[in-house]
Structure 1
Amino acid sequence: MAVVVSISGSPSARSRTARLLRHLDARLAAEGHEVLPLDVRTLPAEALMGADTGHPAIRAAAALIERADGVVIATPVYKAAYSGVLKALLDLLPQFALAGKTVLPLATGGSIAHVLAIDYALRPVLSSMGATHVVQGWFTLDRHISVREDGSVALAPEAADGLDPVVRQFSAALGGRAVLAAAG
Protein backbone atom coordinates (compact mmCIF):
# COMPACT_ATOMS: atom_id res chain seq x y z
CA MET A 1 0.00 0.00 0.00
CA ALA A 2 1.03 3.62 0.48
CA VAL A 3 3.59 5.32 2.69
CA VAL A 4 1.98 7.96 4.92
CA VAL A 5 3.83 10.58 6.95
CA SER A 6 1.75 11.61 9.92
CA ILE A 7 2.74 15.11 11.10
CA SER A 8 1.68 16.38 14.50
CA GLY A 9 1.87 20.15 14.66
CA SER A 10 1.10 20.26 18.36
CA PRO A 11 3.69 21.80 20.69
CA SER A 12 2.46 19.57 23.54
CA ALA A 13 3.51 15.97 24.13
CA ARG A 14 0.17 15.18 25.77
CA SER A 15 -2.12 16.98 23.35
CA ARG A 16 -5.45 15.68 22.16
CA THR A 17 -4.35 16.59 18.64
CA ALA A 18 -1.37 14.24 18.76
CA ARG A 19 -3.42 11.49 20.39
CA LEU A 20 -6.14 11.81 17.74
CA LEU A 21 -3.47 11.63 15.04
CA ARG A 22 -1.86 8.52 16.53
CA HIS A 23 -5.34 6.97 16.72
CA LEU A 24 -5.68 7.55 12.98
CA ASP A 25 -2.15 6.21 12.39
CA ALA A 26 -3.23 2.88 13.88
CA ARG A 27 -6.28 2.80 11.65
CA LEU A 28 -4.26 3.57 8.51
CA ALA A 29 -1.67 0.95 9.47
CA ALA A 30 -4.45 -1.61 9.96
CA GLU A 31 -5.57 -0.82 6.40
CA GLY A 32 -2.11 -1.78 5.17
CA HIS A 33 -0.43 1.61 4.86
CA GLU A 34 3.07 2.18 6.19
CA VAL A 35 2.73 5.07 8.64
CA LEU A 36 5.74 7.18 9.62
CA PRO A 37 5.04 9.60 12.51
CA LEU A 38 6.68 13.01 12.74
CA ASP A 39 6.13 15.19 15.81
CA VAL A 40 7.27 18.71 14.95
CA ARG A 41 7.76 19.48 18.65
CA THR A 42 10.65 16.99 18.74
CA LEU A 43 12.64 18.89 16.09
CA PRO A 44 15.33 21.19 17.46
CA ALA A 45 13.89 24.60 18.31
CA GLU A 46 17.10 26.33 17.23
CA ALA A 47 16.77 24.78 13.76
CA LEU A 48 13.08 25.68 13.45
CA MET A 49 13.39 29.23 14.78
CA GLY A 50 16.73 29.87 13.08
CA ALA A 51 15.40 28.70 9.69
CA ASP A 52 18.25 26.21 9.44
CA THR A 53 17.24 24.16 6.40
CA GLY A 54 20.62 22.41 6.49
CA HIS A 55 20.17 21.07 10.03
CA PRO A 56 20.23 17.23 9.95
CA ALA A 57 16.85 16.97 11.73
CA ILE A 58 15.17 19.33 9.24
CA ARG A 59 16.76 17.49 6.32
CA ALA A 60 15.56 14.17 7.78
CA ALA A 61 12.01 15.53 8.12
CA ALA A 62 12.08 16.75 4.50
CA ALA A 63 13.39 13.36 3.33
CA LEU A 64 10.63 11.58 5.24
CA ILE A 65 7.99 13.73 3.54
CA GLU A 66 9.65 13.25 0.15
CA ARG A 67 9.34 9.48 0.60
CA ALA A 68 5.60 9.64 1.33
CA ASP A 69 2.66 9.01 -0.95
CA GLY A 70 0.36 10.73 1.51
CA VAL A 71 0.63 13.14 4.41
CA VAL A 72 -1.72 13.61 7.35
CA ILE A 73 -1.19 16.99 9.01
CA ALA A 74 -2.83 17.57 12.38
CA THR A 75 -2.75 20.82 14.30
CA PRO A 76 -4.42 22.48 17.22
CA VAL A 77 -6.04 25.76 16.27
CA TYR A 78 -4.68 28.83 18.01
CA LYS A 79 -6.12 32.28 17.24
CA ALA A 80 -7.94 30.95 14.15
CA ALA A 81 -4.82 29.45 12.57
CA TYR A 82 -2.62 26.38 12.67
CA SER A 83 0.16 26.13 15.24
CA GLY A 84 3.37 28.14 15.08
CA VAL A 85 5.59 25.05 15.28
CA LEU A 86 3.81 23.60 12.26
CA LYS A 87 4.25 26.91 10.42
CA ALA A 88 7.96 26.89 11.26
CA LEU A 89 8.39 23.42 9.75
CA LEU A 90 6.33 24.16 6.64
CA ASP A 91 8.40 27.30 6.05
CA LEU A 92 11.62 25.25 6.06
CA LEU A 93 10.47 22.58 3.61
CA PRO A 94 11.17 22.95 -0.10
CA GLN A 95 8.55 25.01 -1.97
CA PHE A 96 7.00 21.94 -3.60
CA ALA A 97 7.58 19.44 -0.80
CA LEU A 98 4.02 18.15 -1.16
CA ALA A 99 4.08 17.76 -4.96
CA GLY A 100 2.55 14.46 -5.94
CA LYS A 101 1.15 13.86 -2.45
CA THR A 102 -2.36 13.28 -1.17
CA VAL A 103 -2.86 15.32 2.00
CA LEU A 104 -5.40 15.02 4.82
CA PRO A 105 -5.59 18.13 7.04
CA LEU A 106 -6.94 17.70 10.57
CA ALA A 107 -7.48 20.30 13.28
CA THR A 108 -8.64 20.35 16.87
CA GLY A 109 -9.85 23.26 18.94
CA GLY A 110 -11.92 24.38 21.85
CA SER A 111 -14.64 26.14 19.89
CA ILE A 112 -16.64 25.54 16.74
CA ALA A 113 -15.63 29.11 15.82
CA HIS A 114 -12.31 27.62 14.63
CA VAL A 115 -13.81 25.12 12.20
CA LEU A 116 -12.82 27.13 9.12
CA ALA A 117 -9.13 27.26 10.05
CA ILE A 118 -8.51 24.23 7.85
CA ASP A 119 -9.97 25.83 4.74
CA TYR A 120 -8.83 29.41 5.28
CA ALA A 121 -5.45 28.97 6.96
CA LEU A 122 -4.05 25.50 6.31
CA ARG A 123 -5.42 24.38 2.92
CA PRO A 124 -3.96 27.34 0.95
CA VAL A 125 -0.48 26.62 2.32
CA LEU A 126 -0.75 22.91 1.49
CA SER A 127 -1.91 23.72 -2.03
CA SER A 128 0.89 26.25 -2.53
CA MET A 129 3.35 23.51 -1.58
CA GLY A 130 2.15 21.47 -4.55
CA ALA A 131 -0.14 18.92 -2.91
CA THR A 132 -1.73 16.94 -5.72
CA HIS A 133 -4.91 16.27 -3.77
CA VAL A 134 -5.92 17.85 -0.48
CA VAL A 135 -8.87 15.72 0.63
CA GLN A 136 -11.67 17.07 2.78
CA GLY A 137 -10.26 17.97 6.17
CA TRP A 138 -11.83 17.45 9.56
CA PHE A 139 -12.10 19.63 12.66
CA THR A 140 -12.70 17.97 16.03
CA LEU A 141 -13.65 19.77 19.21
CA ASP A 142 -11.27 19.04 22.10
CA ARG A 143 -14.17 17.93 24.27
CA HIS A 144 -14.98 15.17 21.75
CA ILE A 145 -11.58 13.52 22.30
CA SER A 146 -11.17 11.54 25.51
CA VAL A 147 -8.03 9.79 26.66
CA ARG A 148 -8.58 6.50 28.46
CA GLU A 149 -6.42 5.32 31.37
CA ASP A 150 -4.43 3.08 29.00
CA GLY A 151 -3.62 6.09 26.81
CA SER A 152 -5.93 5.09 23.98
CA VAL A 153 -8.39 7.54 22.47
CA ALA A 154 -12.16 7.49 22.60
CA LEU A 155 -14.03 9.78 20.24
CA ALA A 156 -17.52 11.11 20.88
CA PRO A 157 -19.97 9.74 18.30
CA GLU A 158 -20.30 13.11 16.54
CA ALA A 159 -16.54 13.24 16.02
CA ALA A 160 -16.16 9.59 15.03
CA ASP A 161 -19.11 9.72 12.63
CA GLY A 162 -17.66 12.71 10.79
CA LEU A 163 -14.05 11.57 10.83
CA ASP A 164 -14.74 8.10 9.46
CA PRO A 165 -15.71 9.11 5.89
CA VAL A 166 -12.83 11.62 5.73
CA VAL A 167 -10.29 8.91 6.61
CA ARG A 168 -11.93 6.49 4.14
CA GLN A 169 -11.66 9.13 1.39
CA PHE A 170 -7.98 9.70 2.19
CA SER A 171 -7.24 5.97 2.25
CA ALA A 172 -9.07 5.47 -1.06
CA ALA A 173 -7.11 8.31 -2.65
CA LEU A 174 -3.89 6.72 -1.40
CA GLY A 175 -4.91 3.38 -2.88
CA GLY A 176 -5.24 5.04 -6.27
CA ARG A 177 -1.84 6.71 -5.87
CA ALA A 178 -0.23 3.38 -4.95
CA VAL A 179 -1.64 1.80 -8.12
CA LEU A 180 -0.31 4.70 -10.23
CA ALA A 181 3.11 4.52 -8.55
CA ALA A 182 3.37 0.79 -9.18
CA ALA A 183 2.43 1.27 -12.85
CA GLY A 184 4.94 4.13 -13.30
Structure 2
Amino acid sequence: MSLVALVGNPRPRSRTLGVALTAARAIGERVGEAGETETVDLSALAPDLLSAAPPPAVRHALDVVGGADVLVVASPTYKATYTGLLKVFLDRFGAGSLASAVALPLLVMGDPKHSLAVETHLRPLLVELGASVPTPGLALLESQIPDAEEIVGAWAGRVAPQVSGFLAGRTAPG
Protein backbone atom coordinates (compact mmCIF):
# COMPACT_ATOMS: atom_id res chain seq x y z
CA MET A 1 0.00 0.00 0.00
CA SER A 2 1.24 3.46 -0.89
CA LEU A 3 0.45 6.11 1.73
CA VAL A 4 1.11 9.69 0.63
CA ALA A 5 0.78 13.01 2.45
CA LEU A 6 0.21 15.90 0.04
CA VAL A 7 0.73 19.28 1.73
CA GLY A 8 -0.44 22.53 0.14
CA ASN A 9 1.12 24.99 2.57
CA PRO A 10 3.45 27.48 0.85
CA ARG A 11 5.68 27.62 3.94
CA PRO A 12 8.44 25.00 4.32
CA ARG A 13 8.34 22.87 7.49
CA SER A 14 4.83 24.13 8.22
CA ARG A 15 2.49 23.12 11.00
CA THR A 16 0.22 21.76 8.26
CA LEU A 17 3.01 19.39 7.24
CA GLY A 18 3.32 18.20 10.85
CA VAL A 19 -0.42 17.58 11.12
CA ALA A 20 -0.50 15.79 7.74
CA LEU A 21 2.29 13.45 8.81
CA THR A 22 0.53 12.81 12.12
CA ALA A 23 -2.66 11.96 10.22
CA ALA A 24 -0.89 9.70 7.73
CA ARG A 25 0.90 7.85 10.53
CA ALA A 26 -2.36 7.43 12.49
CA ILE A 27 -4.24 6.12 9.45
CA GLY A 28 -1.38 3.82 8.47
CA GLU A 29 -1.25 2.29 11.94
CA ARG A 30 -4.99 1.68 11.98
CA VAL A 31 -5.19 0.07 8.54
CA GLY A 32 -2.18 -2.15 9.17
CA GLU A 33 0.32 -0.18 7.11
CA ALA A 34 2.57 1.52 9.62
CA GLY A 35 5.42 1.81 7.09
CA GLU A 36 6.91 4.81 5.40
CA THR A 37 4.72 7.71 4.32
CA GLU A 38 5.79 9.47 1.16
CA THR A 39 5.48 13.22 1.46
CA VAL A 40 4.84 15.75 -1.27
CA ASP A 41 5.41 19.17 0.29
CA LEU A 42 4.37 21.68 -2.35
CA SER A 43 6.34 24.49 -0.71
CA ALA A 44 9.47 23.05 -2.32
CA LEU A 45 7.84 22.86 -5.75
CA ALA A 46 6.03 26.20 -5.78
CA PRO A 47 8.38 28.03 -8.18
CA ASP A 48 7.98 25.31 -10.82
CA LEU A 49 4.29 24.42 -10.61
CA LEU A 50 3.20 26.80 -13.35
CA SER A 51 5.84 25.70 -15.84
CA ALA A 52 4.33 24.62 -19.15
CA ALA A 53 6.48 21.50 -19.06
CA PRO A 54 6.84 20.34 -15.48
CA PRO A 55 10.44 19.86 -14.36
CA PRO A 56 11.53 16.43 -13.03
CA ALA A 57 10.72 17.22 -9.38
CA VAL A 58 7.14 18.18 -10.28
CA ARG A 59 6.74 15.12 -12.53
CA HIS A 60 7.98 12.92 -9.68
CA ALA A 61 5.48 14.53 -7.26
CA LEU A 62 2.67 13.98 -9.76
CA ASP A 63 3.67 10.32 -10.11
CA VAL A 64 3.82 9.85 -6.33
CA VAL A 65 0.39 11.40 -5.78
CA GLY A 66 -1.11 9.67 -8.83
CA GLY A 67 0.12 6.31 -7.56
CA ALA A 68 -1.15 6.69 -4.00
CA ASP A 69 -3.48 4.13 -2.51
CA VAL A 70 -4.22 6.38 0.46
CA LEU A 71 -3.76 10.12 0.01
CA VAL A 72 -3.89 12.54 2.93
CA VAL A 73 -4.46 15.96 1.35
CA ALA A 74 -3.68 18.77 3.79
CA SER A 75 -3.81 22.52 3.45
CA PRO A 76 -4.07 25.55 5.66
CA THR A 77 -7.28 27.46 5.15
CA TYR A 78 -6.71 30.60 3.10
CA LYS A 79 -9.68 32.81 2.20
CA ALA A 80 -12.09 30.17 3.57
CA THR A 81 -10.76 27.33 1.41
CA TYR A 82 -7.59 25.38 0.52
CA THR A 83 -4.55 27.19 -0.89
CA GLY A 84 -4.05 28.19 -4.49
CA LEU A 85 -0.78 26.27 -4.37
CA LEU A 86 -2.68 23.03 -3.77
CA LYS A 87 -5.17 23.90 -6.53
CA VAL A 88 -2.41 24.62 -9.05
CA PHE A 89 -0.82 21.25 -8.33
CA LEU A 90 -4.07 19.30 -8.46
CA ASP A 91 -5.05 21.08 -11.70
CA ARG A 92 -2.29 19.04 -13.37
CA PHE A 93 -4.49 15.95 -12.93
CA GLY A 94 -7.36 15.22 -15.28
CA ALA A 95 -10.85 14.24 -14.17
CA GLY A 96 -10.76 10.71 -12.81
CA SER A 97 -6.96 10.62 -12.51
CA LEU A 98 -7.02 9.68 -8.82
CA ALA A 99 -9.57 6.87 -9.19
CA SER A 100 -7.24 4.33 -7.58
CA ALA A 101 -6.89 6.37 -4.38
CA VAL A 102 -8.85 6.88 -1.23
CA ALA A 103 -8.36 10.53 -0.27
CA LEU A 104 -8.61 12.02 3.19
CA PRO A 105 -9.07 15.81 3.18
CA LEU A 106 -7.60 17.82 6.05
CA LEU A 107 -7.66 21.57 6.61
CA VAL A 108 -5.87 23.54 9.32
CA MET A 109 -7.70 26.77 10.11
CA GLY A 110 -7.51 29.79 12.35
CA ASP A 111 -11.24 30.31 12.76
CA PRO A 112 -13.92 27.68 13.42
CA LYS A 113 -16.28 29.43 11.00
CA HIS A 114 -14.23 27.84 8.21
CA SER A 115 -14.73 24.27 9.44
CA LEU A 116 -17.14 23.34 6.65
CA ALA A 117 -14.54 24.20 3.99
CA VAL A 118 -13.04 20.72 4.22
CA GLU A 119 -16.37 19.23 3.08
CA THR A 120 -17.65 21.98 0.79
CA HIS A 121 -14.44 22.88 -1.04
CA LEU A 122 -11.69 20.27 -0.71
CA ARG A 123 -13.83 17.10 -0.85
CA PRO A 124 -15.52 18.07 -4.17
CA LEU A 125 -12.14 18.75 -5.78
CA LEU A 126 -10.86 15.32 -4.78
CA VAL A 127 -14.07 13.65 -5.97
CA GLU A 128 -13.79 15.46 -9.32
CA LEU A 129 -10.33 13.93 -9.69
CA GLY A 130 -11.86 10.49 -9.16
CA ALA A 131 -10.63 9.81 -5.64
CA SER A 132 -12.88 7.94 -3.28
CA VAL A 133 -13.57 10.15 -0.27
CA PRO A 134 -15.55 7.79 1.97
CA THR A 135 -14.95 9.58 5.24
CA PRO A 136 -15.51 12.97 6.80
CA GLY A 137 -12.53 15.24 6.40
CA LEU A 138 -10.68 16.69 9.35
CA ALA A 139 -10.94 20.38 10.20
CA LEU A 140 -8.30 21.22 12.81
CA LEU A 141 -8.01 24.63 14.43
CA GLU A 142 -4.56 26.12 14.82
CA SER A 143 -5.29 26.36 18.54
CA GLN A 144 -5.75 22.55 18.57
CA ILE A 145 -2.32 21.79 17.10
CA PRO A 146 -0.77 21.13 20.53
CA ASP A 147 -3.41 18.38 20.92
CA ALA A 148 -3.10 17.14 17.34
CA GLU A 149 -1.98 13.60 18.28
CA GLU A 150 -5.12 13.05 20.32
CA ILE A 151 -7.55 14.77 17.92
CA VAL A 152 -6.09 13.19 14.81
CA GLY A 153 -5.95 9.81 16.55
CA ALA A 154 -9.66 9.98 17.39
CA TRP A 155 -10.49 10.99 13.80
CA ALA A 156 -8.28 8.22 12.39
CA GLY A 157 -10.03 5.70 14.62
CA ARG A 158 -13.40 6.76 13.20
CA VAL A 159 -12.37 6.76 9.54
CA ALA A 160 -9.94 3.82 9.36
CA PRO A 161 -12.69 1.19 8.94
CA GLN A 162 -13.94 2.99 5.82
CA VAL A 163 -10.39 3.31 4.46
CA SER A 164 -9.77 -0.39 5.11
CA GLY A 165 -13.07 -1.26 3.46
CA PHE A 166 -12.16 0.73 0.36
CA LEU A 167 -8.74 -0.91 0.13
CA ALA A 168 -10.19 -4.40 0.64
CA GLY A 169 -12.93 -3.82 -1.92
CA ARG A 170 -10.43 -2.65 -4.45
CA THR A 171 -8.33 -5.79 -4.14
CA ALA A 172 -11.14 -8.31 -3.66
CA PRO A 173 -11.52 -10.86 -6.43
CA GLY A 174 -14.63 -10.56 -8.44
Q: Which amino acid aligns with 2:121?
A: A
- Residue 17 of structure 1 deviates from its aligned partner by 1.2
Runs of 5+ unmatched residues, structure 2: none
Aligned residue for 2:85?
A: 85
1:33-182 aligned within 5 A: 33-34=34-35, 35-45=37-47, 47-50=48-51, 52-146=52-146, 154-155=147-148, 159-160=151-152, 162-169=154-161, 171-173=163-165, 175-177=167-169, 180-181=170-171
More strand by share: 1
Q: Secondary structure at the match of 2:26?
A: helix
- Residue 41 of structure 1 deviates from its aligned partner by 1.0
CA distance in 2, matches of 1:33, 1:40: 24
- Residue 89 of structure 1 deviates from its aligned partner by 0.3
Are 2:135 and 2:159, in contact at CA under 8 Å, matched by a contact in 1?
A: no
- Residue 49 of structure 1 deviates from its aligned partner by 2.7
Q: Secondary structure at the match of 1:78?
A: coil
CA distance in 1, matches of 2:153, 2:58: 36
Q: Which amino acid aligns with 1:48?
A: L
- Residue 19 of structure 1 deviates from its aligned partner by 0.7
Q: Which amino acid aligns with 1:181?
A: T
CA distance in 1, matches of 2:49, 2:38: 20
- Residue 78 of structure 1 deviates from its aligned partner by 0.7
CA RMSD of aligned residues (A): 2.4
| 1:17 and 2:16 aligned | yes
Q: Which amino acid aligns with 1:9?
A: G
Q: 1:32 to 1:80 in 2, by over 3 A?
A: same
TM-score (norm 1): 0.80
Are 2:106 and 2:138, in contact at CA under 8 Å, matched by a contact in 1?
A: yes
Runs of 5+ unmatched residues, structure 1: 147-153
1:47-72 deviation digits (Å, cap 9, x = unpaired): 2133x354222221121123221211
Greater shift in the superposed pair: 80-89 or 20-29 = 20-29
Aligned residue for 1:149?
A: none
TM-score (norm 2): 0.84
